[in-house]
A and B are shown apart, each in its own frame.
Chain A
């Protein structure tokens, strides 16, 4: 249970520095508007902000009242207003309407907008158009790295996924490059860099450019982290689309972990209160079960409960002095553990109840069949029935995407019939969702082989980008095939198992999916780290449609200690799942590495699907 790290496992760098840095920057910015002020905070920024500062810190810097940025007129009577927002058009319109209302009323106030993590020119354009440019002062709070745990940094930018992978907007690439630059400034240069994917490549290039511009910053610094590995989410959609069965992933799928904490409702707490629980390595019980396959969790928790009982029982037969010791030293710890234990037992019960109700066993079976590529017809009719019974729309969509990617697109007949039934079950406006999924390459229709090639070549000629002098990826989803089956074979993603797969003593990363599938993303990382390059993986890279988008960049680094060479920073552009984190933590324990994760946001199948669905304006 809860495999310990190898004794030679390297120490993790201290990321709490990032929190202090962000907090100090914020304080500095608040001081730029001296005097009492009201602070308007965007809803999405509240949880991240809560993790690095609190009200008393804001109060110390003369923040009077706090408001949420929402589409209601502000009630504030303060003479100075400060807005802490993401760079979004609708926020600009909100602020502009507020300023203009003041102007109409003949009122003058001071306004300051703090953009997090950076300002966009389009936002300034809106302020200009609305006639308030100059009335408001703008600043940037470069808070883009939030340590959610000792080994997990999140940029908390869920919109990254849709903006880049659906709309093709590269607005966050600079933010990523800046974040990487900050890391290399604080923790030394990375002697070995690997990456795969278009967004990865662009981010890497811009990062390099930043380093060159500010030459000398990192020179002479001892590297603390030996390797950095960047990858785009679209290199591996399959893993993100699977149902999660390790505890942390399951909790995320069931209750949604938000910014490292989760709200457990009354069904978990068995009281009328909800409970907000911080889930990280500090929670000793959680830390031991987070990476476990769910089937092991029960046994662990009951064992824990028994031990706890035994420890409490020791107090019988103690004399006064021993009792005093017990109360002053051990009781607190025991009580804490007791509380943690009952929360996680409650969560398990609730998960069991929900999953039993939704017939999880059938679902998992279908997913495994899709991954292995057998009984395609049966799986298709399972999905069909799912749709017809109006079971969760997200779930139905997810299964269709999984079918599409593993099969290189749906055959036209199935595509039409599933789409029609989907629209009838969940509403015709999902026509737009289907269009989005097709553009992102998540749900496509197989085209007869010959036509595709003809179209491809025609399109390629058409869209040759004169500027860049190379073919753009404008129609890439048309030309891109997922090739999952071939990749799976090449990388041995479906482990051949004789006899049973012991989930208690996992033999490979496949345990995060009940032994049925090794996450593609993690396998790629494993293979590249083993080779210290992409050598010998040409065919896989070609199948991934990344022929020119996989790179290795190694610098001779004498100062790199052997310890630092076993620390690896993995960067997921477009989000990573808890299952992937668990799988790599497992790999780390096996090989004596330690992984650090940097992601644009934590994701899962539901979040991916929601990002693709059409929202009303």
Chain B
């Protein structure tokens, strides 16, 4: 696969690393290293690890013949066979598959529905009877009756109240105190709040709920307050009750009451939250034109100065993507443009991040764009290297000084450049050129060795006057090759004062 676009899907984070990007790959056969100080001793132990692993794998594999014969009967017991038959997830897939009510399917299901040890349960005949659990342990036989529930006696019940669904308990008594009311609410009982009519009563109820810490009850009281108080009064009272306020905000977000939420932020003068909350809505708009128009309305919102710029950028980006998309879709379907024929697009460019768009542009329309140095260089380099446009790569790093001399400079460091080029299978001549530009001699030597840039290794050893290393390298090059000759010539040279 050459490269693929992946549409940034619902979760922003699901945007996977687009495959065309060359993730740099270091030669780190093992990654588990302790702290820097100790990395050396770990590294020395590392070469063994893959060996051990291979060895054990071989050992295990060699046993397979002996074991495989009756694999299947055992699978169920150890239950590694994917979705265990009889498990609930398995069965749901089954329903989805059959979707109708095929009798056959159900029969099949029944017969396969063996008790699976996957759940590791004892047989359903548990020694505990149902009732023994529903009773309090220390109160033998105290089944909770309806009257118990109404009198609110502290009867122990692990199960939902026996006998009838909760909805059927009615709040017959109307004079629960705020604290009793809140307690009933906590237990999930239906409880009328209508008798709390004065503002003072309502607030007392709210305070009682907050002091009990149960968010569910706080929200229940807030739902009541929202219904029975005017917006202004509700907001005013909540402004000084932050815990309750947070619950209301979360509640409004959850039920999607955007209008009231924005009113609330406006009242509280939380302008940034107001702006962000409004901006969030763009995620629900699928149509690109509509989304663009919506983003336009966000531009003037009271974001922080910094975020304002990001919002403006977002709008501009989508605006341009819409133009590019229309244009390129046309070009592609016309089939006249070589680059689109050779490398058909895998997905639309709409709603892609800026960097992805830049990559796209560098790939299909190699033009300049405004973007920080490093980010631009990395992206452009990867795109041009993929197309083997070495001339463009060269131009990326060439700067002219005021005398007109050219100089090579890479904001990301030439060692990175080399790695990226190697990832894109650049030929040795090209690699060599950039390896030579690496400043640090050790890094240069390492990279040159790694990527078999023989000339660079040989020249560097010569410059270092390191005869031993050169000798060692001689054993690595092919017998009778030009490299070997070159090494021999240098070793025999009397001009060099070797340091070893």
Contacts and interface: CB of A to CB of B under 8 A. Distances in A.
A427 B74 contact: no
20 contacts: A17-B128, A28-B160, A55-B90, A66-B95, A75-B100, A169-B246, A169-B250, A185-B136, A185-B137, A185-B158, A305-B59, A348-B53, A352-B49, A358-B23, A389-B24, A390-B17, A420-B372, A465-B242, A465-B243, A472-B243
A340 B75 CA distance: 12
Given A362-B26, A424-B375, A500 B38 contact: yes
B286 to A, nearest CB: 10
A139 interface: yes
B30 A352 contact: yes
B280 interface: yes
Nearest to B313: A428
Contact of B314 (A41, A359, A428, A615): A428
Interface in B179-223: 183, 185-186, 188, 203, 206-207, 210-220, 223
B118 interface: yes
Given A60-B124, A168-B246, A389-B23, A431 B310 contact: yes
Nearest to B34: A514
Contacts of B348: none
Interface residues of A, number: 168
Contact of B212 (A23, A209, A282, A500): A209
Interface string A458-492: 00000111111000111000000000000000000
B165 interface: yes
Contacts of A16: 122
B32 A364 contact: yes
Nearest to B132: A24
Given A27-B130, A389-B378, A614-B283, A308 B59 contact: yes
Most A Cβ at <10 Å: residue of B32, B37, B217: B32
A65 B92 CA distance: 8
A345 B371 CA distance: 45
A424 B354 contact: yes
B95 A67 contact: yes
A388 interface: yes
B188 A119 contact: yes
B3 interface: no
B57 A429 contact: no
Contacts of A549: none
Most A Cβ at <10 Å: residue of B56, B61, B87: B56
Given A173-B215, A428-B310, 7 more contacts: A138-B167, A173-B213, A185-B136, A213-B154, A276-B82, A362-B26, A472-B242
A294 B41 CA distance: 16
Contact of A356 (B13, B29, B219, B314): B29
Interface string A180-213: 0010011000000000000000110110010001
Nearest to A280: B120
Interface residues of B, number: 151
The main secondary structure of chain B at its interface with chain A is helix
Interface in B213-256: 213-220, 223, 240-243, 245-247, 249-251, 253-256
Interface string A52-83: 11111111100001111000000101000000
A559 interface: no
A20 B353 contact: no
Contacts of A391: 17, 23
B94 to A, nearest CB: 8
B340 interface: no
Given A52-B121, A467-B210, A384 B32 contact: no
A217 B317 CA distance: 64
A359 B26 contact: yes
Given A55-B88, A420-B310, A514-B34, A467 B207 contact: yes
B470 to A, nearest CB: 29
Interface in A386-422: 388-394, 416, 419-421
Nearest to B204: A467
Contact of A501 (B38, B79, B203): B38
B474 to A, nearest CB: 30
Given A391-B17, A424-B355, A610-B11, A336 B254 contact: no
Nearest to A467: B207
Interface in B54-81: 55-57, 59-63, 66-67, 74, 78-81
Interface stretch (A43-51, A522-530, A569-577): A43-51
B93 to A, nearest CB: 9
Interface in B132-146: 133-134, 136-138
